[in-house]
Amino acid sequence: MALKLYGTAMSTCTSRVLTCFHEKSVDFELVPVDLFAGEHKQPPFLAKNPFGQIPALEDGDLTLFGKL
C-alpha cells in the first residue's frame, strides 16, 4: 500500500516531504489539496488534519500532520 500525501507541490512544506520520498524511492500518491478553494478548511480534510494545514500524510490507519 502506497503512502498518501495530501498537499500541493507548490507548498514549501509539501515539497520537503516530496524530496525525501524521491530520495528514498518511496512509493506514494500525491493527493492535491486546492488551497485557493479552501479545501483544506473543509470537514473531509479537517478529519485528516484538524489544524487545516498541509501537508498531511496517511499510511493505512495512521495519519501524521504538523502544526507550524
Residue 46 C-alpha cell reads as 479537517
Nearest to residue 33, comparing CAs of 17, 48, 23, 16? 48
Q: Where are the alpha helices (DSSP H) in the chain?
A: 12-23, 43-46
Query: pLDDT digit string (tens) for 3-59?
Result: 999 999 999 999 999 999 999 999 999 999 999 999 999 999 999 999 999 999 999
Higher pLDDT, 67 or 28: 28
On the question of pLDDT at 66 being above 90, the answer is: no
pLDDT at 49: 95
Residue type, 9: A
On the question of pLDDT at 68 being above 80, the answer is: no
Q: What is the dihedral of CA 29, 57, 50, 47, to 10 degrees?
A: 50
